Amino acid sequence: MHYRRCGNSQCLRPFQINQFDSNVGVEVVRGYVICPHCGFRMAGDDPDALYQTHPMAPAQERHFNALKLTEGFE
């Protein structure tokens, strides 16, 4: 599990992101991360991976925004 901030300058909200192997038997869009808040589409680190995103709970988002550390966050 990782966290990422939306790349849309109108949003910039953080969210949780999970990366999965793309060996699934369904037609899905691979290689893109989609902000769960505004729907902004960003390239993921692996163009063949599947990405699932989740908004943070309000308290988690406040804590994330208060952190001065950047290690482990994209």
Question: In terms of C-beta density within 10 A (0-12 exposed, 13-18 middle, 19 or more buried), how is residue 66 classed?
Answer: exposed
H-run or E-run covering 20: strand 14-20
Alpha carbon distance 4, 30 (integer Å):
18
Q: Which two tokens stand for residue 25?
A: 């038997």
Alpha carbon distance 38, 12 (integer Å):
9
Q: What is the pLDDT of residues 13-71, one digit of tens each?
A: 999 999 887 666 556 677 899 999 999 999 998 888 889 999 999 999 988 888 755 54
Predicted model pTM: 0.77
Domain ranges of the chain: 2-66
Alpha carbon distance 34, 43 (integer Å):
9
